[in-house]
Amino acid sequence: MKKVLIFDFGGTIVTDESDDVLHMRFYKEFINRFNIPAQPEEMFQFLKAEIKEVLKTAHEKWENLSMAYTKALEQFLKSKNIEVTSDHLKTFRELYLKYHEKFTEPFPDAVETLFKLKSLGFRLAIISNIDNEIIEPVLKKLGIYDIFEVIVTSEELGFGKPNIKIFEETLKRLGISSKDAIFIGDSYTNDVEGAKKAGMDAIHFGVECKNWKELFDELLNRGVKNGCNN
């Protein structure tokens, strides 16, 4: 009987679309505040490409994302022949944190389903390639921070998924074996393959289950309906 459900965060509990939207919004505010000769879309694509390179080695060594974005910002401003100031960097970081907390949105039915699973007796946990300063305020805003028994981030451990060690550390903290858990995530490489290499069952969210209602039904189909009551 699977008694522990371990979730990815971005793209699983909260939407990637809301993340893209909030970045565009705060880039627009940043550009307007400093009269940067650029459009938000241009800034978005430049920084996205820089961060994509950083994330290629995240499974080996995690770099704080707000710092990585700040470095990318410096490169963007220099490409515009703008002298980078401490005010640029300070303002960007403040907007980065503010907009993530305010505008990150959950998938429809995600919050309600998580509470339902908790009420059925499941133990819930998160493994996410993210910084604590982003995930914690969002979970608290959504009112679900306290329902997760364990939250393990790549920032905390210094490396991310699909590194098997992040899965093993989470299982260790939960005091369970891999056969007692199901991992749910939207990335096949980071989530599904990573979890299976650690010996866990896994559900590919967005593929096997298109939404949270389908996810709940899939969990029932896998024989986990009664949670820890069995």
- Please report the domains of the chain, with CATH numbers, ordered by start residue: 4-15+106-229 (3.40.50.1000), 17-103 (1.10.150)
Alpha-carbon gap, residue 115 to 176, rounded angstroms: 22
Alpha-carbon gap, residue 195 to 57, rounded angstroms: 18
The tens-digit pLDDT sequence of the chain (230 residues) is: 678 999 999 999 999 999 999 999 999 999 999 999 999 999 999 999 999 999 999 999 999 999 999 999 999 999 999 999 999 999 999 999 999 999 999 999 999 999 999 999 999 999 999 999 999 999 999 999 999 999 999 999 999 999 999 999 999 999 999 999 999 999 999 999 999 999 999 999 999 999 999 999 998 887 665 444 44
Is 108 strand, coil or helix?
coil
Q: What is the pTM of this model?
A: 0.93
Residue 92 carries which side chain, given as an amino acid letter? F
